[in-house]
């Protein structure tokens, strides 16, 4: 009696095994990819201060009255000239280059009117003894390095050295707002306004900040640098928009990968 034993063809088993392996691998790969992007995204979110204009006092340096005074300078400036002045107070840049960090915040917040670029950022890093002034394109020729150095040395540094950092922040906001106001009124041919009190133009952008009484100006580390560089002929794209586009591309690429692995 003849027996016939049938065996499954190996060529049918192998594709099923490969397909199962591909599905398992693809799911692990996608999970790892999403986890990595979640970590990177959360890191970006932690390192970038929240946009609060005209004032973001992250370390609660100012009392309510002083904070209101700082806001008032910016609000009056916006009311009269649509210029956007923001003040940021942080503990430290945590080792980052202060100028580059302030520039990234300037761009991330999208300060100034579109097409005019009339924004301004004043950033205080208290523990680092640094202050950065970031003018928009409209003001960068006026707010030169030497000009801002003189402004800080004359009005801000004495308050910081005297242990009155709140007064230093007020002085910076007051003088920067006054200079923007003078610039706009001169450009528009209007009569100068006295809304911001008495301020005098100064002419000299790096300055000491909160340095000890015995240290010299040359050894101090505070600095003020030029504004965020933008192309005049191109529309400004905010950092949030760029990040959204990047994550959309990543999502589409991930979805395409899942589809491919499940349909091979």
72 and 182 inside one domain: yes
140 and 256 inside one domain: no
134 and 216 inside one domain: yes
- Antiparallel, parallel or unpaired: β 119-125 and 84-90: parallel
pTM of the model: 0.62
Sheet arrangement for strand 130-135: 55-57, 84-90, 119-125, 130-135
What residue numbers bound the domain in which 94 lies? 52-233
In a domain, 210, yes or no: yes
254 and 205 inside one domain: no
246 and 148 inside one domain: no
113 and 76 inside one domain: yes
251 and 186 inside one domain: no
125 and 71 inside one domain: yes
Q: Cα(118)–Cα(214) distance, rounded to whole angstroms? A: 38
251 and 203 inside one domain: no
Number of domain units in the chain: 2
pLDDT in tens, 65-111: 999 999 999 999 999 999 999 999 999 999 999 999 999 999 999 99
pLDDT in tens, 10-63: 555 555 555 565 556 556 655 666 666 555 554 444 478 999 999 999 999 999
Residue 161: alpha-carbon gap to chain centroid: 27
155 and 220 inside one domain: yes
8 A C-beta contact, residue 180 and residue 192: no
In a domain, 30, yes or no: no
């Amino acid at each position: 009696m003849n027996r016939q034993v049938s065996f499954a063809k190996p060529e049918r088993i192998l594709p099923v095994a490969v397909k199962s392996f591909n599905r398992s691998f693809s799911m692990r790969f996608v999970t790892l990819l999403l986890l990595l992007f979640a970590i990177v995204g959360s890191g970006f979110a932690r390192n970038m201060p929240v946009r609060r204009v005209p004032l973001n006092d992250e370390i609660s340096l100012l009392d309510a009255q002083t904070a209101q005074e700082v806001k008032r300078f910016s609000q009056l400036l916006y009311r009269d000239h649509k210029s956007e002045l923001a003040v940021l107070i942080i503990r430290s840049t945590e080792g980052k280059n202060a100028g580059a960090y302030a520039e990234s915040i300037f761009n991330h917040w999208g300060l100034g009117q579109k097409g005019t670029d009339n924004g301004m950022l004043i950033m205080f890093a208290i523990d680092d003894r640094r202050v950065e002034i970031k003018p928009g394109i409209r003001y960068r020729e006026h707010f030169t390095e030497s000009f801002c150095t003189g402004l800080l040395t004359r009005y801000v540094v004495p308050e910081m050295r005297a242990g009155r950092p709140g007064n230093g922040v007020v002085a910076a906001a007051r003088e920067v707002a006054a200079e923007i106001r003078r610039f706009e009124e001169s450009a528009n041919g209007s009569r100068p306004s006295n809304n911001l009190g008495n301020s005098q133009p100064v002419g000299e952008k790096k300055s000491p900040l909160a340095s000890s009484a015995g240290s010299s100006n040359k050894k101090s580390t505070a600095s003020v640098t030029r504004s965020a560089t933008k192309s005049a002929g191109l529309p400004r794209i905010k950092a949030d928009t760029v990040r959204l586009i990047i994550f959309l591309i990543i999502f589409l690429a991930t979805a395409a990968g899942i589809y491919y692995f499940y349909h091979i």
